[in-house]
Amino acid sequence: MTFSSRLRVIFRSKTSKALDRIEDPREALDDSYEQQLKILHQVRQGLAEVATAKKRIELQGQEMGTRHRRLGDQAAQALAQGREDLARTALERRALLEDQVASVRDQYTVLERQQLRLQDNERRLADRIAAFRTEKETIKASYSASAAQVRANEAVAGIGTEMTDVGVNLDRAKDRVAQMQARAAATDELLATGGLNDLTATPDADLERALSADSVKATVDRQLAAMKGAGAGDSPRQGPPDEPASWLAIGRGPTSS
C-alpha cells in the first residue's frame, strides 16, 4: 500500500467516524428530550407566576372583604346613634368598594382559569415527556445492541473502520520492518567492504589492524615451517603440567629442558 493510498484510507476512516457521531440517533433523541424538559420547565415557571399573581389578588380581595364588612358595621353603628349622614357616607364607600371588588373578582377568575389550563397542559406535557423518555431509552438500547452486533460482525469479517485502522497499522509496521532490514543489510555490507568507518576508532587504526594481521600470519608461517623441519614423528616439548606459572611462557618460543 502506497503512502497516498494509506492517507486516503485513514481520511475515509476518520470521516466515517465523524459522520457516525453526527448521525447518532441516540444523541438526537437526548437532545429532543432535553428540549422538551426545557419547555416543561418554562410551563411550570409560568404556572408558578400565575399562581403567585392569583394569590396576590386573593389577598387583596380578602382585605377588601374585611373593609366591606367594617363599613357595613360602621353604617349600622352610625344609624343607631342617629348619625344618618355618617351612615350614608359608610354605605357610599361600601358601594364604591363593591365595584372594586367586582373588578378584582374578574381578574381572579381569569387567573384561576389560566392556572387550570396551565396545570392541565403541564400534566399532559409531563406525561408525554415521560412516555417519550421510555421510548427514547428503548430505541437507544436497540440501536446500541445493533451497533454492537455490526461491530462484532465486521470484526469477524475483517471489515469496518476499526479493522481498516488495524490493516493500515499492520502495513506501516511491515514497511518499517522492511526498511530496517534493508538498512541492516546495507550497513553489514559497508562494514565488510570497509565503506563504513568506525567513528570511535583511533587515527590510523586500520593500518595497525593490517600490520597486526601480517605479523600474525608471519608467526604462523614460521611455526608451521619449524614443525615441518622437526619431523612428523617428534612431538613438541611441553613444560611440566603442574607448573603454576607455565602460562607465562606462552608465545615466548620453546622452553629449555
Question: Which DSSP string do the residues of the chain spell out, in sequence order?
Answer: --HHHHHHHHHHHHHHHHHHHHT-HHHHHHHHHHHHHHHHHHHHHHHHHHHHHHHHHHHHHHHHHHHHHHHHHHHHHHHHTT-HHHHHHHHHHHHHHHHHHHHHHHHHHHHHHHHHHHHHHHHHHHHHHHHHHHHHHHHHHHHHHHHHHHHHHHHHHT-SHHHHHHHHHHHHHHHHHHHHHHHHHHHHHHHHHT-S--TTSPTTHHHHHHHHHHHHHHHHHHHHHHHHHH-SSPPPP---TT-TTGGGGTTS-PPP-
pLDDT at 256 over 70: no
Instruction: Take residue 53 and report the three cell numbers written for it.
Output: 399573581
Residue with cell 371588588: 101
105 versus 164: which is more confidently predicted?
A: 105
Mean pLDDT of the chain: 78
pLDDT at 115 over 90: yes
248 versus 106: which is more confidently predicted?
A: 106
pLDDT at 137 over 70: yes
Q: What is the pLDDT of residue 257?
A: 43
Instruction: Take residue 201 and report the three cell numbers written for it.
Output: 576508532
Residue 51 CA to residue 116 CA, distance in Å, equals 10
Q: What is the pLDDT of residue 174?
A: 83
Residue ranges of the domains in the chain?
Answer: 3-175
CB 33 within 8 A of CB 132: yes
CA distances from 170 to 152, 155, 161 (A): 20, 15, 14
Q: How many CB atoms lie within 10 A of CB 200?
A: 6
C-alpha angle 242/243/246, rounded to 5°? 125
Q: State the average pLDDT over residues 99-124.
A: 93
pLDDT at 48 over 80: yes
Q: State the average pLDDT over residues 49-64.
A: 93
Q: What is the pLDDT of residue 220?
A: 80
Q: Residues 183-241: pLDDT tens digits? A: 888 877 777 776 666 656 666 666 677 777 777 778 788 878 888 777 655 555 555 55
Residue type (1 letter), 88: R
Beta-carbon contacts of 170 under 8 Å, excluding residues fewer than 6 positions away, are none
Q: What is the pLDDT of residue 121?
A: 92
Beta-carbon contacts of 39 under 8 Å, excluding residues fewer than 6 positions away, are 125
Residue with cell 349600622: 76
18 versus 106: which is more confidently predicted?
A: 106
Instruction: Name the percent of the chain lying above pLDDT 70.
Output: 70
pTM: 0.48
Q: Residues 166-196: pLDDT tens digits? A: 667 777 888 888 888 888 888 777 777 766 6
pLDDT at 8 over 70: no
Instruction: Name the percent of the chain lying above pLDDT 90.
Output: 41
